[in-house]
């Protein structure tokens, strides 16, 4: 497999932020619904932007108020939950770059939140191009996130991009999306890019993912297995 443009999700793929995300959702559901769903129900929302989750699961609440509550809770409780880079991720990123790959990130986090974590985790120097939720209008599983980061990565590689012609097929063929949720896999499917579902983060209901029509190209259980694929 000849791949040059490697795009990663952030939460649950590069870094383990699961505990603080679950705690923030539990507090939010308790506040606005009076109860909290099971952990697996919360995990099923991973990768979805906040406003969409709120619209589905807390439909009668004022969305902006709920978003502010969720983010404030997460910001004020970061010190209570460990956030760390998954074992093997940093070395895998280094090895990919040594092989000539360009590293991108396509995340549903805000730009401020993403870079805040990247700096705390000492990872800001390991990625080349980033697209956050602030950079797109249509979010995963829409293909816009992957297309937006690929355009940046093409420029990084010195390849010309003509908006009138779109992203060349050869670039899509040379790209790979690595993620931990159905939203990442759906984004890749919709963009016409191969995908990798990682198995080191949390439970994924693959039957539900397949029911949505999203099919990963590959599965891996350790970051270093990505090097074997490529």
The CATH number of whichever domain residue 91 belongs to comes to 3.40.50.1000
Distance CA 102, CA 118 (A): 17
pLDDT block averages, 10 residues each, the chain of length 230: 92 95 96 95 92 94 96 90 95 96 96 94 96 95 97 89 88 96 96 97 87 95 94
Residues 117 and 199 in one domain: yes
Q: How many domains does the chain have?
A: 2
Residues 117 and 131 in one domain: yes
Q: What is residue 95's predicted lDDT score, i.e. its pLDDT?
A: 97
Residues 92 and 202 in one domain: yes
Assign 218 to helix, strand or coil: strand
Residues 100 and 120 in one domain: yes
Q: What is residue 1's predicted lDDT score, i.e. its pLDDT?
A: 63
Return the ∠ at Cα 113 (arms to 189 and 32), rounded to 5°. 85
Q: What is residue 161's predicted lDDT score, i.e. its pLDDT?
A: 82
> To which residue do tokens 């999306």 refer?
177
pTM attached to this predicted model? 0.93
Owning domain of residue 131: 5-16+84-229
Residues 95 and 170 in one domain: yes
């Amino acid at each position: 497999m000849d791949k040059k443009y490697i795009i990663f999700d952030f939460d649950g793929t590069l870094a383990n932020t699961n505990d603080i995300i679950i705690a923030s959702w539990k507090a939010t559901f308790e506040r606005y619904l009076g109860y909290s769903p099971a952990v697996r129900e919360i995990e099923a929302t991973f990768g979805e932007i906040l406003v969409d989750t709120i619209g589905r699961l807390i439909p009668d609440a004022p969305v902006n108020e709920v978003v502010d509550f969720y983010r404030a809770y997460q910001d004020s409780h970061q010190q209570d939950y460990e956030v760390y880079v998954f074992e093997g991720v940093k070395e895998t990123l280094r090895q990919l770059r040594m092989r000539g790959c360009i590293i991108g990130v396509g995340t549903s986090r805000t730009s401020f939140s993403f870079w805040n974590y990247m700096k705390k985790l000492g990872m800001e120097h390991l990625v080349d191009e980033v697209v956050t939720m602030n950079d797109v209008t249509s979010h995963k599983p829409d293909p816009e996130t992957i297309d937006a980061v690929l355009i940046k990565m093409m420029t990084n590689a010195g390849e010309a991009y003509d908006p009138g012609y779109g992203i060349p097929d050869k670039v899509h063929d040379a790209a790979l999306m690595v993620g931990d949720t159905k939203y990442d896999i759906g984004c890749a499917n919709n963009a016409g890019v191969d995908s990798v579902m990682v198995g080191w983060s949390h439970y994924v209901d693959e039957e539900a993912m397949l029911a949505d029509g999203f099919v990963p190209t590959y599965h891996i259980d350790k970051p270093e297995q990505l090097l074997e694929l490529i």
